Amino acid sequence: MKDYFDVLTAYFDIFSDSDELTGLLGTNPSDIAECDDRLRKSFADSTLVEPSELPFVDFSFIVSHGQTGNFLVNREVVEFNIYCSNFNEASLIFKAIKKLLRANYKDAQCISSNEKGTVTGLYCFSFRIKTFIGT
């Protein structure tokens, strides 16, 4: 059974090995520190993002809210946020990520997506997937 860290590390490895995605993010795939800055395994605070940091992607499991009493209710749902300067850039990055997820996890399903209100000059597109990967 994979845990939180295993799953996020697996995503990072798949994404950082992709020439297409790292090219869109302006990252050298052989520079792990640079990839780590553009593929973040925790959520960013969009109010603190500087234009020089764009584009980047953050991803993590979503927090379970409500009165379910079941902390595992969202254990297979991962949220991705694409931070960039415009809609077209977000679209290209989203398509590259979706292609990688489908190639490596045939059962991954996009269960929601939306644009997030952000500060001027910053565009954020968010989507969630259900992974079914034995977390």
**What confidence tens digit (pLDDT) does each residue in 90-133 have?**
999 999 999 999 998 877 777 777 777 656 778 889 998 887 65
Question: Is 135 part of any domain?
Answer: no
Residue 57, CB-side half-sphere exposure with 13 Å CA sphere: 31
3-state secondary structure of 32: helix
82, 125 Cβ separation under 8 angstroms? yes
62, 80 Cβ separation under 8 angstroms? no
3-state secondary structure of 107: coil
pTM for the predicted model, two decimal places: 0.84
Q: Which residues span the domain enclosing 118?
A: 4-130
Question: Is 90 part of any domain?
Answer: yes
* CATH code: domain of residue 20: 3.30.2000
Question: Is 93 part of any domain?
Answer: yes
Count of domains in the chain?
1
**What confidence tens digit (pLDDT) does each residue in 75-93 have?**
678 889 999 988 899 999 9
